[in-house]
Amino acid sequence: MDLQNLVTNYAGYNLSVNQQFVDWLSNKTTEQLNQESPSSFSSILKTLNHIWGMEEYWYSIICQQPDFVNRYGIEDLNADEVFQGLINRSQVLVNEIKSFSRNDLVEKIKVVSPWFEANQSRYEYIQHFVNHGTYHRGQIVTIGRSIGITDAPGTDYLFFNARKEQQ
């Protein structure tokens, strides 16, 4: 598998598992989605909103879009807005990443932010945002378990690829 196929597949995985989480969480009550539990973000909905916000941020870096709207601290959205925003951004990322050439993917992009400074290739940032989402989806599963939600979907990258092979 070449680099372009690998990162496109990885972005497709990100979209797929975000969709699985939205489908899973769409059946939960507003109270469950907002119930507080100790974690990086204090509720399932706040954590999912953070994943969306970080995808917005990384989209602005990866796709060199200067019109980035910082979503940090925006927490007064309802579940449907967060669900739709996350899926829409994840789909746009898949579409954009599919269009990148190998040269685009290895191009170094300098990032200076309040949190870090880096000069890495575009594909490394793609790996990062997917891994970052995976980390926080794991937190959502843990928050869910702590409040009695035990029916989380299995979202390992291996499972995603195995399902694709079966199709």
> What amino acid is encoded at 154 in this protein?
G
Query: How many of the other CB atoms lie within 10 Å of CB of 121?
Result: 15
Residue 121 lies in a domain: yes
> What amino acid is encoded at 83 in this protein?
F
- Please count the structural domains in the chain: 1
User: What are 3-61's pLDDT values in tens digits?
Assistant: 999 999 999 999 999 999 999 999 999 999 999 998 889 999 999 999 999 999 999 99
Residue 88 lies in a domain: yes
Residue 14 lies in a domain: yes
pLDDT of residue 131 exceeding 90: yes
Q: Which structural domain range is residue 64 located in?
A: 3-162
Q: Is 82 exposed, middle or buried (0-12, 13-18, 19+ CB in 10 A)?
A: buried
Q: Which residue has the tokens 């579940």?
A: 79
CATH of the domain at 47: 1.20.120.450
The predicted pLDDT at position 71 comes to: 58
Strand partners, 111: 118
Strand partners, 108: 121
Specify whether the CB–CB gap between 157 and 131 falls below 8 A: no
Strand partners, 112: 117
Residue 167 lies in a domain: no
